[in-house]
């Protein structure tokens, strides 16, 4: 597919087949994503891909921590408030999802259920964690965001599906210990990856985007 089609058709996939992705294909999409631009070509990204028993063990650990009501401590704190325009988009998303699926993302019991689905990687055969040295500046965090986007686009171009998951970083310290990631790294993002199951109801919901007139100013 061409670049424009890839951008326009990419979606967050939350339903996967059980088919594993070949190692060479995983390496290919990572290599493609590594072409991302970065401040002075610093390439401030590191990645861990996990599968099989290691992934299952992490899922079990995260769900156990949640069931024990262990306080979350992500390396990047969850936002506590949003500006008016951004909050309006979030409210619209929650209302639309509730209308179409009956799922109320503001209900505490639904949040717990959503977290457990995240911790199970939505049934995907592979999980990914992105991290970088915690001494790096906000510019490097921006660069890692570019890498994450290109990783998802590269996967989509190869017929794979991905979804970025902030919840997977809720227990950053425990995840880093489990995956032998040094404490000196900041865990930025978790993702699931695999072949999308487009028959899954989870993949039937699509989010909307604000029109250009709302986000862009043209000055002459």
Q: What is the CATH number of the domain that holds 54?
A: 3.40.109.10
Taking the C-alpha atoms of residue 40 and residue 212, their distance in angstroms, rounded to an integer, is 31
Let me know if residue 152 belongs to a domain.
yes
Q: What is the pLDDT of residue 101?
A: 67
- Top pLDDT among 108 and 143 is at 143
Mean pLDDT of 147-160: 98
Let me know if residue 183 belongs to a domain.
yes
- What is residue 48's three-state secondary structure? strand
Let me know if residue 82 belongs to a domain.
no
Let me know if residue 208 belongs to a domain.
no
What domain count does the chain have? 1
Q: What is the pLDDT of residue 100?
A: 63
Residues 123 and 18 sit within 8 Å (Cβ to Cβ): yes
Length, in residues, of the chain: 220
Taking the C-alpha atoms of residue 115 and residue 127, their distance in angstroms, rounded to an integer, is 15
Query: Which residue in the block uniquely carries the two structure tokens 């509730």?
Result: 98
Domain with 143, as residue range(s), is 12-74+121-202
Let me know if residue 33 belongs to a domain.
yes
Mean pLDDT of 148-168: 97
61-85 pLDDT tens trace: 999 999 999 999 999 999 889 999 8
89-106 pLDDT tens trace: 888 888 877 766 667 777
Let me know if residue 106 belongs to a domain.
no
Query: Which residue in the block uniquely carries the two structure tokens 């990645």?
Result: 47
Let me know if residue 69 belongs to a domain.
yes
Query: Which residue in the block uniquely carries the two structure tokens 């862009």?
Result: 216
8-22, 92-106, 145-159: segment of lowest average pLDDT: 92-106
């Amino acid at each position: 597919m061409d670049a424009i089609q890839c951008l326009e058709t990419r979606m967050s996939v939350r339903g996967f087949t059980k088919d594993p992705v070949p190692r060479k294909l995983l390496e290919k999409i990572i290599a493609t994503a590594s072409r991302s631009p970065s401040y002075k070509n610093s390439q401030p990204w590191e990645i861990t891909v996990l599968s099989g028993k290691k992934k299952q063990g992490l899922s079990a650990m995260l769900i156990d921590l949640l069931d024990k009501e262990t306080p979350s401590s992500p390396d990047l704190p969850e936002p506590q408030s949003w500006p008016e325009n951004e909050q309006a988009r979030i409210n619209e998303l929650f209302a639309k999802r509730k209308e179409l699926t009956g799922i109320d993302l503001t209900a505490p019991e639904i949040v717990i259920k959503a977290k457990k689905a995240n911790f199970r990687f939505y049934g995907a055969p592979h999980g990914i964690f992105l991290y970088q040295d915690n001494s790096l500046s906000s510019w490097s965090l921006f660069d890692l965001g570019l890498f994450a986007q290109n990783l998802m686009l590269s996967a989509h171009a190869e017929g794979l599906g991905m979804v970025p998951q902030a919840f997977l970083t809720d227990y950053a310290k425990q995840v880093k210990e489990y995956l032998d990631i040094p404490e000196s790294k900041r865990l930025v993002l978790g993702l699931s990856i695999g072949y999308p199951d487009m028959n899954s109801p989870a993949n039937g919901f699509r989010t909307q985007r604000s029109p250009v007139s709302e986000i862009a100013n043209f000055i002459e």
